[in-house]
Structure 1
Amino acid sequence: MRLAVLGAGAVGPGAAALAVSRGHEAAIWSPRGGGTHGIGSSLSVQGVLSGTARVSVAVDVARALDRASAVLVSVPPHALGPLLRRIAPMLAEGVPVLLAPSHSLAPLLLDRLLARRGLRVPVAALAVPPVVAERLAGDEVRILALPEAVEIATVPAASSEALARLCSDLFGMAFVHLSDALGAALAAHEPVLQSALILGNVTRIEAGEAWDQHRQMTPAICRLAERLDAERLALAEAYGHAVPSLAAGLHRMANVPVGPLPVMARALAALRPAPGLRGLDATQLAQSVTYGLALWLRLAAARGVPMPLTGAAMAVLEAMWGASLSADDLLEGLDFSRLRQLLRDGHPRD
């Protein structure tokens, strides 16, 4: 297969290298232009994978999409909406789009944009990326870990099993298909852990100190994370989803034994550094708060599910940052009264 990778931070090149290692082709495009600087005709790969991965660099998005068998989109959440609006007129009938990771209910936004064209394109929401990676310099990428399994859901929902098989072919690990894309939004554990860590380390963040997230998963932070996670799991159950707990998610991402969170934190800290936020930049909170906690609270209100601690965490973060953190552009145009039908069938085509 030929994989078009849109996004050239760490996950995009890492996923491209993984797909190439499995016999596929990959073309990488950077929405900002500079992300592919230093990449010629190959990536130098270190870590879990090692060697050279031959890739092509696309000078524009149209060339990246040309002849693609599948499209992988991996950009920060605040950049995802603008990118989906940009590529929607250029996508081809039937060529699946993989959002890795998916943020909020972005698959429904892309489906709505495609419905305007009468186009049917299966859109996959991956709860977590297929690689944990970091960009080193230029053409160098280090694959830090490969999750043992990734939750996947699609719009329309009937495409889930086929796209799970496609992703397994591309990336190798198991893809666990969920009944709908809401499950993928609720399966992401990162907002829980990040919110707890940010609340407990805000003075370090504001002072611009260097700090390691795993080393700061103290027993108190872990207790807070577990209570926030309990509310997430209850919300998922209310919507008919059984999603992995925070501990299970950390195990899948880093292959550390499941156990008490502080014990898992020590194992994670021994594996690799995990630098924390530096500076009160609201865009850095987007993935965890705007497209995580805020979405969950909106879903909870619709079903009457109590999430008092999540609501309190959201209010405290907004107070400390001095800004609203709930403006989710990925929900634009979404009719929540038709959410179940849209998740199952997508938007109607003429």
Structure 2
Amino acid sequence: MRLAILGAGAIGPACAALAASRGHTAVLWSPSGAGTRGIDATLHAEGLLEGCFPVTVATRLAEAFAGADAALLTVPAYALPDLLPRIAAEIPTTLPLLIAPAASLAPLAFARLRGPGAAVGAMATTPLTGRRLAPDRVRIAAIRAEAEMGALPGPAAPEMAALAESLFGNRWPTVPDALAAAFINGNPIAHAALALANVTRIEKQESWGQYGLMTPAVCRLIETLGAERDALAARFGHHPPSLAEALHRTNGVPRGPLHEMTAAIERGRGFIAGPTEMATRYVTEDVPYGLAFYLAIAQAIGQPMPVTEGTVTVIETMWGQGLRDNPLLAGLDLTALPAALGA
């Protein structure tokens, strides 16, 4: 297939290499143009995928979509409010779009902008994890064995799962709708707890390893935030995997107490640096489009989330800025989500 990949940070190019390794044609587009600068028809991959893989760089959206069989959108959630209208205005109505991850009901926001058209895949997380080492080089740290797939409309999930499996090789168990997929990604919970517990290290730009510092105390906060998310999800009939299960799937460590699993990950993968800038995505993305997203839904249906509320308030206080603005939810009736998501 010909796959248009929209987003050229770390995940987009890594997904391009993975798709190309499976015989597909990858076309990479960067919203600003900066992400594809320095890529000259070849991507070099190392880590869990080794080799040189062909890639086409598109300078315009229309060029990326030309002849495509599918599209993958993978950008930070805070980029979606500005980017979704651009994509909705140019994407062919028959072209299926996969959004990875489908944070904050992004598939619903996109479909409202585009109008009737092909199904939208709501990926619970990205097909892989990786880092950009150079303009034309990526290191792939993990290729997920499986991750959940929802869709808009909800019944299209098996079709979107089959598409993603063909492109990337992972298994994509289906979930009923895009909201179920949005609840599954555990990054907002883990990242917010890590940022809060290590704020002085971040502020002083110290080097610190995130898995090694997921200590028992930090993991207690993670587990409590996870329990509140799970109670909210259950109000909609959804039951996301635990944070421990997510770590097991991605890193292959044995299931056990969370802090023991993270210690095992550090032993196996080595030092994985935590953020060293206050403007880290752990806060600017994962709080507004993760924890505060949960709070918005909880408020709409009267579900208490006291620890989540307190965590967001403390982070807002320490970072000195409001972190609850989420344009993706504008105009949505959060009290009537099941009907909107299943249509």
Quickly name the TM-score band, shorter chain normalised: over 0.9
Shift of 1:20: 1.0
Number of corresponding residues: 342
1:249 paired with 2:246, answer: yes
- Which residue of 216, 226, 231 corresponds with 1:229? 226
Q: Describe how 1:119-138 pairs up with structure 2 within 5 A.
A: 119-138=116-135
Match of 1:301 in 2: 299
Q: Deviations over 1:210-261 (max 9, x none)?
A: 2111111111111111111111111111111111100001111222221111
> Which amino acid letter does the alignment assign opposite residue 244 of structure 1?
P
Q: Deviations over 1:133-158 (max 9, x none)?
A: 11111211111101111111111112
Describe the SS at the equivalent of 2:130: strand
Q: Describe how 1:78-93 pairs up with structure 2 within 5 A.
A: 78-93=78-93
CA distance in 1, matches of 2:127, 2:298: 28
What are the ranges of 5 or more consecutive residues in structure 1 without an aligned counterpart?
Answer: 346-350
1:321 paired with 2:319, answer: yes
CA distance in 2, matches of 1:114, 1:219: 45
Describe the SS at the equivalent of 1:136: strand
Q: Describe how 1:75-224 pairs up with structure 2 within 5 A.
A: 75-115=75-115, 119-224=116-221
Describe the SS at the equivalent of 1:174: coil
> Which amino acid letter does the alignment assign opposite residue 225 of structure 2?
L
1:55 paired with 2:52, answer: no
CA distance in 1, matches of 2:290, 2:107: 15
Describe the SS at the equivalent of 2:339: helix
Match of 2:6 in 1: 6
Contact 1:12 1:28 in 2 (8 A): yes
Q: Deviations over 1:155-203 (max 9, x none)?
A: 1112111010110111111101110111011111111111111111111
Contact 2:104 2:329 in 1 (8 A): yes
> Which amino acid letter does the alignment assign opposite residue 24 of structure 2?
H
CA distance in 2, matches of 1:39, 1:14: 13
Shift of 1:105: 1.0
Change (3 A) 1:10 1:317: same
Contact 1:127 1:184 in 2 (8 A): yes
Q: Deviations over 1:267-294 (max 9, x none)?
A: 2112143222223227651332100111
CA distance in 2, matches of 1:102, 1:272: 29
CA distance in 1, matches of 2:275, 2:329: 26
CA distance in 1, matches of 2:21, 2:281: 34
Structure 1 length-normalised TM: 0.95
CA distance in 1, matches of 2:164, 2:271: 28
Deviates more, 1:68-77 or 1:266-275: 266-275
Shift of 1:93: 2.1
Shift of 1:2: 0.5
Describe the SS at the equivalent of 2:35: helix
Match of 2:278 in 1: 280
Deviates more, 1:287-296 or 1:327-336: 327-336
Contact 2:88 2:114 in 1 (8 A): yes
> Which amino acid letter does the alignment assign opposite residue 297 of structure 1?
L
Contact 1:282 1:325 in 2 (8 A): no
Identity %: 45
1:266 paired with 2:263, answer: yes
CA distance in 1, matches of 2:63, 2:271: 36
Shift of 1:51: 0.9
RMSD of aligned residue pairs (Cα, Å): 1.3
Structure 2 length-normalised TM: 0.97
> Which amino acid letter does the alignment assign opposite residue 277 of structure 1?
P
> Which amino acid letter does the alignment assign opposite residue 335 of structure 1?
D
Question: Which of 1 and 2 has higher RCO (CA within 8 Å, sep 6+)?
Answer: 1
Deviation beyond 6 Å, 4+ runs, structure 1: none
Change (3 A) 1:272 1:10: farther
CA distance in 1, matches of 2:4, 2:136: 17
